[in-house]
Amino acid sequence: MTLVLALLSLAAVLGFAVARPRGWPEAFAAVPAVVLLIAVGAISMHDAATEAARLLRVVAFLGAVLVLAKMCDDEGLFEAAGAAMARAGGGSRRLLRQVFVIAAVITAALSLDYATAHLANAASLLLPVSNLTNLLAFHAANVSFIKFTLLMALPWLAAIGSVYVVFLVFFRRDLSVPLDPQENESAPPTPVFAMVVVALTLIGFVIAEAVGVAPAWAALAGAAVMAIRNLARGQTSATAIVRALNLPFLVFVLALGVVVQAVMRNGVTERMAALLPSGSGLIALLGYAALAAVLANVVNNLPATLVLVPLVAPTGPAAVLAVLIGVNIGPNLTYVGSLSNLLWRSVLRRYDISASVGEYTRLGLCTVPAALVTSVLALWAGVRLLGI
């Protein structure tokens, strides 16, 4: 009975997060679900608090990066990136290439929430800090920041390349339409300060990992530098900074993790363990990634990482990174698959832009298998090349 209630609660929370009736925050459904599951004994208060504490470092990182990205936006970083895309001559295909290159770089540097939907997931494989799921897998894989980056460089390129090729085919009619001529407008100034701070923050992540400090502190330092500068120059306000932190969404992430733990603690963990392959050969790695992709589309990719990474960690870093590929690329199939998808939907609503669920799913059915297989093949090759 408790498992049924936990599953129904999870479905309600994810459904609410996608629909967001009246624009209410996702936490409006997630927090009551946690209270209900504790009340019926699906998860104890102690276990719920333990799970929330385990996620706190990841959520703190997310909050700091949200503020850092808002400060970069105030500095004109994303406007400059958009202008660079718009200035690209050579037609629609060249414009698409520009979007892919710039979005992939922004995603890798500023986490998954700041690029177009499919690249926000597929292009977030490169660094341990490119995605919240990466942070969780990074610690379980027990490799250095540099080794993680080296291992994931080929899968990152493979994922981006695969999605790009699928986009060329899927949108071939749209890409055949000539672009409207653009008026010659002066380019916005290059936000040098913001770019330097982002670069120094990335270096800070490497140093923090080397000395055993949580990456959230490096992200917080970068956000603080940008916030102080923007406040002094009148480019932002304390209210805008708090709004950028998006506290209701951070609470939702914590509550979602607790709801998923309630599901897993009532018999699902054992069932998941029975489905996992064994070993770290190519077939096994493909199996880990496929299972992770499926689970991410059922319970969201952050909880899926929390479920699967501990189960595969004893097998070694290759298995952990294969799971990471699955939970990062798999969510391109459905809206509920990742946190970035939910944020993307919120942005579309804010600008009154409609998004077809059917088209998104059809595109995902093309991009996910191709990117998943090529990325796992690249991981398998990288593991053997580096001798891990």
Evaluated on CA atoms 20, 21, 23, 24, the torsion sign reads: negative
Does residue 82 surpass a pLDDT of 90?
Answer: no
Report the candidate in 354, 356, 364 with the shortest Cα–Cα distance to residue 334: 364
Does residue 197 surpass a pLDDT of 90?
Answer: yes
Higher local confidence (pLDDT), 138 or 271: 138
Question: How high is the pLDDT of residue 137?
Answer: 92
Higher local confidence (pLDDT), 209 or 374: 374
Confidence of residue 1 (pLDDT cuts 50, 70, 90): confident
Distances (CA, A) of 177 to 45, 116, 248: 58, 21, 42
Question: How high is the pLDDT of residue 185?
Answer: 65
Question: How high is the pLDDT of residue 88?
Answer: 63
Does residue 153 surpass a pLDDT of 60?
Answer: yes
Does residue 203 surpass a pLDDT of 70?
Answer: yes
Burial class (CB in 10 A: 0-12, 13-18, 19+), 347: exposed
Output DSSP code: residue 90. S
Confidence of residue 182 (pLDDT cuts 50, 70, 90): low
Question: How high is the pLDDT of residue 122?
Answer: 86
147: how many CB neighbours lie within 10 A of its CB? 14
Alpha carbons 273 and 95: distance in angstroms, whole number: 45
The first and second tokens of residue 173, run together, are 């009619």
Question: How high is the pLDDT of residue 115?
Answer: 56
**Percent of the chain topping pLDDT 70:** 95
Of the CA atoms within 13 Å of residue 345, those in its CB half-sphere come to 22
The mean pLDDT value of the chain amounts to: 88
Distances (CA, A) of 43 to 11, 235, 258, 309, 318: 17, 45, 8, 21, 32
Does residue 342 surpass a pLDDT of 60?
Answer: yes
Amino acid at 184: N
Burial class (CB in 10 A: 0-12, 13-18, 19+), 217: middle
Question: How high is the pLDDT of residue 250?
Answer: 92
Alpha carbons 256 and 10: distance in angstroms, whole number: 8
Average pLDDT over residues 298-326: 91
The first and second tokens of residue 71, run together, are 């400060």
Evaluated on CA atoms 329, 275, 259, 307, the torsion sign reads: negative
Average pLDDT over residues 16-21: 80
Question: How high is the pLDDT of residue 260?
Answer: 87
Alpha carbons 78 and 235: distance in angstroms, whole number: 15
Q: pTM above the 0.85 mark?
A: yes
Average pLDDT over residues 114-134: 84
Alpha carbons 109 and 112: distance in angstroms, whole number: 9
Question: How high is the pLDDT of residue 267?
Answer: 82
Confidence of residue 93 (pLDDT cuts 50, 70, 90): confident
Alpha carbons 251 and 249: distance in angstroms, whole number: 5
**Residues 6 or more apart whose Cβ sits within 8 Å of residue 90:** none
pLDDT in tens, 251-261: 998 999 899 88
